[in-house]
Structure 1
Amino acid sequence: MLMKKLWMNTTILGLLIFSACNEEVEEVMNEELEETTDTETLFLVADQQNNAAHIITYDGEELFNWDFNSALGNDINLLSDGSLLVCLKADNAAITYGGYGGVFRKINADQSVAWEISYSTEDYTAHHDVEYLSNGNIIFPVWQELSQAEAAEEGFGGNYRLNPESIIEMNPITQEIVWEWHAMDHIIQDEDPSKSNYGSVADNPNKIDINYNYRTRDNGDIMHINGLTLDEENDLLYLTVNNYSEVWVLDHSTTTEEAKTNSGGNYGLGGDLVYRFGNPETYDNIGDATLSNVHYPNLLETGNMLVYANSVYGNQSEVVEYDLNPPYSLVAGQNNEPDVVWTFTDNDLYSSGISSAVRMDNGNTLITEGREGTLWEVTDVGEIEWLYKTNYSTIWRTYVFYKDDPAISALGL
């Protein structure tokens, strides 16, 4: 795919997009966009501002729209038959931190509803992300409710209730839970020796320090998983954990019973962390931190992973690509961090939350600057080929599709 996207044109285009204030400027902007349009590449945008999703072209033309008539709970998945799996906000949700959901709806290509399920009560709420697996199941993160007294019994040092993370895999037709994992089964703490989970954080890299950041927080959302990706070939589940500024890796080959323990599964670790990276400070380890807040663990076909690091440079974001090489090991006192093989940042790239990065077929990377509603296309050498301020002020993620994709054909586009 070749497009007329010279640096000079991009700079002019960026200025026009961000400062357009009269018809003459808008006319010039549209002329620039016409020069850069590729009719084969389409973008699926999760539009949080309008509780909708859109398929748009390079020039912003909306080719297909979904209006959910409910508040968008973040993620959307366009499936090969043209159906859309979407997270929506539950009316009765008891846990309502940013990114909460609680309802999953599958919408057919003709916009009829195939099914809708709720996973939200006073004790738990699904949130942020959902993945549709090849076996027809869905998998998603869940906040659970622990009272202050219950949290204290687990050695938690904060004086407030706790909302730790769980992962649920469900058959959406029968609503049977077929696999689950709970962070509270795998914690360590070094503050209260009277508790059974007391121990050395540094000596237990596969455990989660429940007290890592409670002194800097004032609510129970201490972990804040905001994205998940299942590598079905290796049966490994990747989680972006925003408030720990790292990626956790779980062994999905375990049974639910094994996932409660530290044995069983392909790695023999049960539900303990198989691997983690991005912020070795979380387990008192050596190595350089490469993440500060993080969204979307995007596993590439190469086996590498792209993530959106929200605040690596203060008010400046960065996209980071890691070279991942399972099987993994975590060794106390050893640098366990993977190699960083590519990054992109810019003085004007910043979103304090949400956002994503996707590798395109042409080798470029599409970046969604979520809280600015801006899309960036950058080359492997960091040149900005396209910069577009959309009509949507808040975008959860943007996914790339092509005209020959079965999902696009199923929608009649």
Structure 2
Amino acid sequence: MLLISLVQLHAADPVIGWLGGTADSFEGYTLVAPGSSTTTYLIDNAGRVIHSWQSNYRPGLSVYLLEDGKLLRSGKVLATPADMNTGGWGGLFQVLDWDSNVLWQFQYSDDQVQQHHDVEMLPNGNVLVLAWEMKSAAEAIAAGRNPSLLNNNQLWPDHIVEVAQTGSNSGEIVWQWHSWDHLIQDFDPTQQNFGVVADHPELADINAIGNAGSDWLHGNSVDYHPELDQIVISARAIDEIWVIDHSTTTSEASGHSGGVQGMGGDLLYRWGNPQNYDSGSAADRWLYGQHCVEWIPPGFPGEGNITIFNNGTGRPGPDFSEVLEIVPPLNSTGGYDPSVGGVYGPEAPVWIYSDPDPGNFQAGFISGTRRLFNGNTIICDGPTGLLFEVTPELEIVWRYEVPVSNGIPRPQGTPIAAGNSLFRTQRFALDHPFLAGRDLTPGVPIETYLSPADPDGDGDVDLTDFSCFEQHFTGSGSGTGLPLFENAAGFYFDFDADGDVDCDDVDSMELIWTADPASFPGIPGCDLGEVFLRGDASDDGSVNIADAVAILQHLFSNGTLNCLQSADINDDDSLDISDPIALLQVLFGSGNTIPAPSGVCGMDPTPGDLTCEASICP
């Protein structure tokens, strides 16, 4: 178990990647799909890469690791149509296996429709696709749209299609729902959908005040509830979430009857801004430019409730973001009852996270949230690429900043001003069934390091770094000094990954010291070990035929070696028959040379029977 505790960062601490955490963090693997990158990463709680997937596309925008270990990844294939002038465009989705092989790719993008923002895998293997569809100015006006609210003579309302796979690059639309089929308006009495908006909360007012651009609703999130067979949608531009019935046929979904709830494709439930259906008042409004609406899964604390990332854009007073958890007013039949006055409840969320200083947490766009199995909530501040985890008591227990900017992993110590956005994230338990039998050996972090002992990333291993190292020194497991993993910097000083920052690690740090060697402070009781001579497997001070014999005896006759590293002739981090062969070639004039002992030690044990500290003989 990795034990870490959050502390205030100082000059030598990381500014990207893993920024710290506590033992109250939910131990697991976190999915990170940087918006500017074609790579998707799975990292552990210390920011080390467990696995990664490669795609030909940047996210467009959602990426999900599925319950069977496959990756569902939307992708950007076309720029936003010129008449749209909005964000979130994509165009296709892919299903990748663990090794990045594309099992299925489906493009939904042309001059009439375009996938955007989100997709959702259904239990039957079909995929829900959130998409725009183009309506001309004439069509919009015929639907009662106020011409003054038209932009570029087009309107792009949202719709959802369910796609079943028919081939590796094809699919069949087996169900669809269109917001365009469920409109009301009180602007143009000559149109068929003219009516009293307040009397029809199951319909969407086409003139609801929101985004006056072509992207009228700006749907940005879709989630599915398998037991209810319902879909929830986030309509950001009108500051509202909607629930619709998926049990309908496509024909029923285009009308106002049918399905389990008998309402066809009409809205079963809506929340966040009741003034959209001419009910309530400004005091009843909760949502401002929200993203990422999800039902909490069964077995998780709060199951059946809905979480929402409320961006807070355009709220009265200064903008600030918050995460909301609401209890929808679900009745015994799976429908939703409005409260007195026709406003759908609840009156207030059951749980809210916001920063005590609102100015510290304000994400103007994208972003997401998800409930974790232990009751904590992971939050994605999308524009800054900052992930953090909070307890039910609102304590931050883990922090991580995406270290990829404009598609390139950045060096530690360099703050990222822009270009490292993240749409949302997931975290899975260490023992999740789909992980069974997979190689989960931690690798290096996503961010780059000029040296593992250079936490401030300035290119020098010097007194500044040693000061931080000394704070994390724990001796030889005696518990002296500060706890290992007090923050992210402490993790990177454990060169041999044995769970202690001890004398062996002091040796490693001295070997890669870049300042004046005489200035290395050292730690009392820790002396640099004997530096080995590569090739001197017999430990007699010279390299000769006896060394090749010693290696062969070790490999085939249980012979012992005083220093395993000295026998790794070809420096491939393992001992095998290639090493005595390489030594004989050197001894008998092949022209080969023996690599010098490495002075830089990685952060994890190397393969085979060598230790990480490749330049020290224990």
Change (3 A) 1:410 1:156: farther
Deviates more, 1:142-151 or 1:386-395: 386-395
**Cα separation, 1, equivalents of 2:3 and 2:328:** 32
2:322 is aligned to 318
Q: 2:370 aligns with which of 339, 358, 362?
A: 358
Aligned match of 1:197 = 193
2:328–2:345 contact (8 Å) kept in structure 1: no
- Give 1:358's aligned amino acid: R
Alpha-carbon separation, structure 2, partners of 1:411 and 1:122: 42
In structure 2, how many angstroms separate the alpha carbons of the residues matched to 1:322 and 1:355? 18
Q: CA, structure 1 residues 184+220, in 2 after alignment: closer, same or farther (shift >3 Å)?
A: same
**1:151 counterpart = 2:140:** yes
The answer as to 2:262 corresponding to 1:280 is no
Task: Percent identity, please.
Answer: 36
For residues 129 and 58 of structure 2, what CA distance do their matches in structure 1 show? 18
The correspondence of residues 174-193 of structure 1 with structure 2, limited to 5 A, is 175-193=171-189
Shift of residue 51 of structure 1? 3.1
- Select the residue among 331, 336, 339 that pairs with 1:328: 336
- Deviation of 1:353 (Å): 1.1
Pair 1:264 & 2:258 matched: yes
SS at structure 2 position matched to 1:237: strand
Counterpart residue number, 2:306: 305
Residue 265 (structure 1) shift: 1.1
Tell me, what secondary structure is at the counterpart of 1:172? strand
Structure 1 residue 93 displacement after superposition: 6.5
CA contact (8 A) 2:182 2:265 kept: yes
Equivalences for residues 8-407 of structure 1 within 5 A? 9-10=6-7, 12-13=8-9, 16=10, 24-26=12-14, 33=20, 40-91=27-78, 94=81, 97-157=86-146, 158-160=149-151, 161-173=154-166, 175-213=171-209, 217=212, 219-286=213-280, 288-300=284-296, 301=298, 302-311=303-312, 314-326=318-330, 327-330=335-338, 333-338=341-346, 339-346=348-355, 347=358, 348-392=360-404, 393-407=420-434
Change beyond 3 A, Cα 1:38–1:187: closer
Over 3 Å counting, the alpha-carbon distance change for 1:159 and 1:241 in structure 2 is closer
Instruction: Measure the CA separation in 2 of the matches of 1:113 and 1:373.
Output: 27
Secondary structure of the 1:404 match is coil
Three-state SS of the structure 2 residue aligned to 1:257 is helix
CA–CA separation in structure 1 for the residues paired with 2:243 and 2:277: 14
Give 3-state SS (helix, strand or coil) of 2:350's partner: strand
1:259 positional shift: 0.8
Q: Distance in 1 between matches of 2:271 and 2:75?
A: 30
Is contact 1:109–1:410 with CA below 8 Å preserved after alignment? no
Aligned residues: 398
Q: CA deviation at 1:64?
A: 1.4
CA distance in 1, matches of 2:199, 2:51: 53
Q: Return the letter of the residue paired with 1:342.
A: W
**What letter corresponds to residue 396 of structure 1 in structure 2?**
F
Q: What per-residue deviation string (whole Å, max 9, x for no partner) do you get for residues 287-345 of structure 1?
A: 61111111111211310011100016543100000012422134793231224100000
Q: 2:99 and 2:195 mapped to 1: Cα distance? A: 55
What code does the residue aligned with 1:115 have? W
Describe the SS at the equivalent of 2:139: helix
Q: 1:407 to 1:188 in 2, by over 3 A?
A: same
Separation in 1 of the partners of 2:243 and 2:361? 28
CA contact (8 A) 2:272 2:285 kept: yes
**One-letter amino acid matched to 1:379:** T
Please, which moves more after superposition, 40-49 or 248-257? 40-49
Assess, with a 3 A threshold, how the Cα gap between structure 1 residues 56 and 211 changes in structure 2: closer, same or farther: same
Aligned equivalents of 2:435, 2:224: Cα separation in 1: 24
Distance 2:37 2:230 in 1: 34
Q: 1:26 to 1:369 in 2, by over 3 A?
A: closer
Point out the more displaced range, 151-160 or 265-274.
151-160
In the alignment, the residues of structure 2 paired with residue 230 and residue 43 of structure 1 have an alpha-carbon distance, to the nearest angstrom, of 22
Q: Which moved more, 1:53-62 or 1:227-236?
A: 53-62
Instruction: Give SS of 1:202's match.
Output: helix
Q: What SS class does the counterpart of residue 141 from structure 2 fall into?
A: helix
Shift of 1:3: 5.0
Change (3 A) 1:37 1:271: closer
Per-residue displacement from partner, 1:184-231 (whole Å, max 9, x unpaired)? 1110111111111111111111110111126x52x2101011111111
- 380-389 vs 36-45, greater mean Cα deviation: 36-45
Judged with a 3 Å threshold, the aligned counterparts in structure 2 of structure 1 residues 26 and 44 are, in CA distance, closer, same or farther, namely closer
User: What TM-score do the two structures reach when normalised by structure 1?
Assistant: 0.90
In the superposition, relative to structure 1, how do residues 269 and 26 fare at CA in structure 2: closer, same or farther (>3 Å)?
closer
Partner of 2:520: none
Give the Å deviation of 1:162: 0.2
User: Is 1:250–1:275's contact at 8 Å kept on the other side of the alignment?
Assistant: yes
Query: RMSD of the TM alignment (CA)?
Result: 2.5
> Normalized against structure 2, the TM-score is what?
0.61
> 2-side partners of 1:306 and 1:86: how far apart?
22
Are the structure 2 counterparts of residues 155 and 88 from structure 1 closer, same or farther at C-alpha, using a change threshold of 3 Å? same
3-state SS of paired residue (1:169): strand
- CA distance 1:366–1:35, change in 2 (3 Å): closer
Residue type at the aligned position of 1:44 = L
